[in-house]
A = this chain, B = another copy of it.
Amino acid sequence: MATSARRGPYFCGIDTAMDVVAGKWKSLILWELHNYGTRRFAELRRGLPGVSEKMLIQHLREMEEDGLVHREVYREVPPKVEYSLTEHGVSLNAALAPLGRWGTERMRRIGAEKVSVNVAATVRR
Contacts and interface: CB of A to CB of B under 8 A. Distances in A.
Interface in A1-57: 7-18, 20-22, 27-28, 31
A76 interface: no
B14 A112 contact: no
Nearest to A68: B106
- Oligomer: number of copies: 2
Contact of A102 (B92, B113, B114): B92
A9 B91 contact: no
A13 B110 CA distance: 12
23 contacts: A7-B112, A10-B103, A10-B114, A11-B115, A12-B28, A12-B31, A12-B114, A13-B102, A13-B103, A13-B104, A13-B105, A13-B107, A14-B31, A14-B99, A15-B28, A16-B103, A18-B99, A20-B103, A94-B98, A96-B98, A97-B98, A98-B98, A99-B99
Interface of A: 7-18, 20-22, 27-28, 31, 88, 91-92, 94-107, 110, 112-115, 119
